[in-house]
Amino acid sequence: MDHQDHLDLLLPGVTTPGGAWADLGSGTGAFTLALAELVGPQAVLYSVDKSRAALDEQSRLMQARFPGVAIHYLVADFTRLLDLPKLDGIVMANALHFVAPRQKLEVVRQLKSYLRSEAGLILVEYNVDHGNPWVPYPLSYPVWTALAQQAGFTHTRLLGRKPSRFLNEFYSGLSL
């Protein structure tokens, strides 16, 4: 996927510029850069990843492309309690598939607790239910909708799909 694909997957779920957003499991920032472009310089972003090196690379890319966006980098594990303000949105792209099935519900409930009422979680994930060593626990869109409902989200909708060379396709879904 390229930057335009990242934008396409997020765009239908980012309806207004600004606000406080987090990208959880952000890595080197492919989706953080797309989010920054969509929410603009009036937003405040929180980029969370376990890898300091990945966040350092992301910081360099962000400074080059979107120097006016306020962003806070947190070296942390998104499966543990995070010190975040109430958020207007969360992006989680290609990260939930690293959480074991028995822990997913607890993690998604925790993510929901970071959101303001009426705010949403945009999930980007492989649209399959069986993984491989690099994508151990993916979840298809139907499985995501059921999990989101169990976690207390009241509405989930499909935002977009993109083909994948490795595991069928990617989807993005917004859960409110």
Report the predicted TM-score, pTM, of the whole model to 2 decimal places.
Answer: 0.96
- Give, in words, the CATH class of 3-175: alpha beta
Domain ranges of the chain: 3-175
* Position 38 pLDDT exceeds 90: yes
Predicted confidence (pLDDT) per residue in 120-152, tens digit: 999 999 999 999 999 999 999 999 999 999 999
Is the predicted pLDDT of residue 166 greater than 90, yes or no?
Answer: no
Q: Sign (positive/negative) of CA torsion 18, 50, 172, 83?
A: negative
Across all residues in the chain, what is the average pLDDT? 96
Rounded-to-integer distance, Cα 59 and Cα 28, Å? 8
Number of residues written out for the chain:
176
Q: With DSSP H G I counted as helix, E B as strand and the rest as coil, what are the percentages for the chain, rounded to 5?
A: 35, 30, 35
pLDDT band at 58 (very low <50, low <70, confident <90, very high): very high
Question: How does residue 168 score in pLDDT terms, banded at 50, 70 and 90?
Answer: confident
Residues pairing with 49 in the sheet: 75
Nearest partner of 33 among 58, 70, 5, judged by Cα? 58
pLDDT of residue 162: 96
